């Protein structure tokens, strides 16, 4: 199937035929990754970042880094109308 590249404002656009959009389950607003390959232009459905559970994120925290940062913050005296904690 051949489609024509069209100019829309300052960009170029390709209209995806209805049959291909239906087959690929594309709808208005679907995010696509566009990349250039040796064979041509490749459109892929944009992947979502994998969601992580809060427990997994908590395991990666290093308490020592928080202690160091807290000490750095408390080393400076209050300036202006700051309230000393």
Q: Which residues contact 17 (CB under 8 A, 6 or more apart)?
A: 1, 3
Q: Whole-prediction pTM value?
A: 0.48
Q: Do residues 3 and 15 lie in contact, with contact meaning Cβ atoms separated by under 8 Å?
A: yes
At 55, phi and psi to the nearest 5?
Answer: -65, -40
Rounded Cα gap, residues 41 and 5, in angstroms? 13
Predicted local confidence at residue 77, as pLDDT: 76
From first to last of its 85 residues, what are the pLDDT tens digits of the chain?
889 999 999 999 999 999 999 999 999 999 999 999 999 999 998 887 777 888 888 888 877 777 777 777 777 777 777 665 5
Predicted local confidence at residue 84, as pLDDT: 57
């Amino acid at each position: 199937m051949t489609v024509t590249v069209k100019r829309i404002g300052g960009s170029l656009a390709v209209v995806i035929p209805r049959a291909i959009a239906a087959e690929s389950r594309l709808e208005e607003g679907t995010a696509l990754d566009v990349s250039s390959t040796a064979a041509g232009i490749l459109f892929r459905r944009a992947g979502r970042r994998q969601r992580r559970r809060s427990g997994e994120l908590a395991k990666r925290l290093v308490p020592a880094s928080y202690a160091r940062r807290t000490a750095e913050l408390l080393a400076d005296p209050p300036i202006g109308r700051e309230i000393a904690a």
